[in-house]
Amino acid sequence: MSTSILYHGGGLVGYDYLFTRDEQGAMIFCVRPKAQTVCCPECGREHVVFRGGKVRQFRALPIGNKPVSIEAWV
């Protein structure tokens, strides 16, 4: 799996692919936001001071009969 496949196949824009892990038969693609896509939601400026975050999982379309999730630090 690559960033290109996630972008073109899954419509995931602005994230870099890190790795894939298997959890109880499900495929989990771990991604992180590209530094240049992180901006202030209020004014849109790119100078952002991070004050925490958390890992979130988003359900994606299955591949064959395997459930797929995308895990990202937000």
**Position among 4, 24, 36, 43 found at the interface with Zn ion (CB under 5 A):** 43
Under the criterion CB under 5 A, does residue 42 sit at the interface with Zn ion? Answer: yes
Print the binding letters for residues 8-37 with Zn ion: x by CB under 5 A, - otherwise: ------------------------------
Q: How far is the CB of 28 from Zn ion (least distance, A)?
A: 32
DSSP 5-63: HHHHHH---SEEEEEEEEETTEEEEEEEE-GGG---TTT--S--------EEEEEEEEE
Q: How far is the CB of 24 from Zn ion (least distance, A)?
A: 40
If one counts every other C-beta atom within 10 angstroms of the C-beta of residue 29, the result is: 22
Name the residues that contact Zn ion, by CB under 5 A.
40, 42-43
